[in-house]
Structure 1
């Protein structure tokens, strides 16, 4: 339980760490029951279009998450977020996330069902 997922650069330096304890807590709190709504973003001007189906998922398991990382289904997506862009003191914040393609969501849950709206 003291372990974690580590991002290591080419020189072997640890650039980031996600502790298992925090990941498990997040996984159980945020993803235990989830509804995913696929969308398509087009533009500019940017507009979102939503389809007529949703995916209801429940029963997430941290071991499913670890397996998905090891097989490449879940991947690291580094990003920056600019806050207060129009102010005198804008700030860049890291907003790195793990991502999964919508088609692979079911592999992260014990139960996943598509429903038409």
Structure 2
């Protein structure tokens, strides 16, 4: 009795017979190494006629990597997380805040 499995095992659909390349030859390639600030090396293969980028993301840590191990690119800085109060202080001075607070308290007390 059949097990319910397909008759072809171990091959992908459309892969063709083993050992025969119906899709043609690969383009000639060159391998370029990129180094990040943590010292990780990433090797990428490019077609010979392709333009090699100046930066590539490191596969290990995600930092930007460059082709020169002695001159690695610097990661862009990220602004630290700001609270709501931090954004308010960015827009207003301490004196403006005290004036607004006193107005709000006066409204709550019913004096305005």
TM range (shorter): under 0.3
What is the TM-score normalised by the length of structure 2? 0.24
Would you tell me which structure has more strand in proportion to its own residues? 1
Q: Which of 1 and 2 has higher RCO (CA within 8 Å, sep 6+)?
A: 1
